[in-house]
A and B are shown apart, each in its own frame.
Chain A
Amino acid sequence: MPRITIDKEKCKGCLLCVSVCPKGAIKAGTKMNKRGITFVEFKKGGNCLGCAMCAVICPDCCIEVYK
């Protein structure tokens, strides 16, 4: 099952990854990181395809993709 990891300390919560994910496998989170930013979360058991569109559009390079 493809999956992604999100570097929560680098995430700035711009939500671009959420907007491009074709399967809706990333969601706006509820927890804050050390800088007070609500980071995004990967939905466990979501239908991640491993297409890496989220990683391609992430301006802060916080996403790693495994397939």
Chain B
Amino acid sequence: MKKIFSRPESLKNVTTHYCAGCGHGLAHRLIAEVIDELNIREKVIAVAPVGCAVVAYDYWNFDCTEAAHGRALAVGTAIKRVRPDNIVFTYQGDGDLAAIGTNETIHAANRGENITAIFINNAIYGMTGGQMAPTTLLGQKTATTPKGRDVRFQGYPLNISLLLGTLPAVKYVERVSLHNPQEILKSKRAIKQAFQNQIDNIGFSLVEILSPCPTYWEMSSEKAMSWIRDTMTKEFPLRRIK
């Protein structure tokens, strides 16, 4: 009898602090699997965000650093310019990449830095207690929009992938989801493509991953997955944007 599925070498054998059903654990594992498959574990440098994934360096078994809130792509730029032979990627949530770090994100993308950004979009601020994020859907109830997000007061959800897709220096943008095993495998392919682009010196790549937050969406894990499939993908359709 052969073992056909086990923990990748790049993922430490520890229990994570994430809530039950959280998508961060899945995204961490997919990245670890891709790094093992591309055999770049000794060359990778990750930049962890501020947010729920702030201690991602405790879970990955490769070199990681930590950036100030929203500045992961600026830190990633510096690392890649000083050490161009290393594979640099940032792992950021929507509060980090799309709110406080919008400026750094857009400019790093516009400069066409040869780095990979993994963008976890769960439409809410997880770490601080379920407040509205720029990516929160219209009508979605959060701690700061108890009656649902209203376009008159909070505006429309920010579509970062579409925005970055318009920049000529951006080479690859794809939006994927984690709501079922098939989509998880597609997400892994997209992450692999984004790393391969960096290895081939193609340029800036971003993978947006729609990820569940059952705790602050106030749903069971299973229902959170169906909410992504039925509601979230209407606002954020799954496709290769560039």
Interface of A with B (CB < 8 Å)? 3, 9-10, 12-16, 19-20, 37, 50, 52-53, 55-57, 59-61, 63-67
Is the beta-carbon distance between B25 and A64 smaller than 8 angstroms? no
B-side contacts of A14, CB under 8 Å? 20-21, 214, 221
Q: What is the minimal beta-carbon distance from A58 to any residue of chain B, in angstroms?
A: 8
B-side contacts of A53, CB under 8 Å? 181
Q: Would you mind naming 28 contact pairs between A and B with Cβ atoms under 8 Å apart? A: A10-B15, A12-B20, A14-B20, A15-B221, A15-B222, A16-B221, A19-B222, A37-B20, A53-B181, A55-B5, A56-B185, A57-B26, A57-B181, A59-B18, A59-B21, A59-B22, A59-B24, A59-B25, A60-B15, A60-B25, A61-B25, A61-B29, A64-B5, A64-B6, A66-B1, A66-B4, A67-B1, A67-B4
Q: What is the minimal beta-carbon distance from A40 to any residue of chain B, in angstroms?
A: 11
Is the beta-carbon distance between A60 and B16 smaller than 8 angstroms? yes
Judged by a CB distance under 8 angstroms, whether B2 is at the interface is: yes
B-side contacts of A65, CB under 8 Å? 3-6
A-side contacts of B180, CB under 8 Å? 20, 57
Is the beta-carbon distance between A64 and B3 smaller than 8 angstroms? yes
B-side contacts of A16, CB under 8 Å? 21, 221-222, 225
A12 to B15, CA, bound (A): 10
A10 to B7, CA, bound (A): 12
A52 to B221, CA, bound (A): 19
A13 to B6, CA, bound (A): 19
Interface of B with A (CB < 8 Å)? 1-7, 11, 15-16, 18-26, 29, 180-181, 184-185, 214, 220-222, 225
Q: What is the minimal beta-carbon distance from A50 to any residue of chain B, in angstroms?
A: 7
Closest to A19 in B: B222
By DSSP majority rule, is chain B's interface helix, strand, loop, or mixed?
mixed
B-side contacts of A37, CB under 8 Å? 20
A-side contacts of B214, CB under 8 Å? 14
A15 to B222, CA, bound (A): 7
A67 to B2, CA, bound (A): 5
Of all A-B residue pairs in the complex, the 8 with the closest CB atoms, nearest first, are A59-B25, A14-B21, A12-B20, A14-B20, A14-B221, A65-B5, A55-B5, A56-B181
A-side contacts of B1, CB under 8 Å? 3, 66-67
A-side contacts of B20, CB under 8 Å? 12-14, 37, 59
A10 to B15, CA, bound (A): 6
Is the beta-carbon distance between A52 and B4 smaller than 8 angstroms? yes
A42 to B16, CA, bound (A): 22
A67 to B6, CA, bound (A): 12
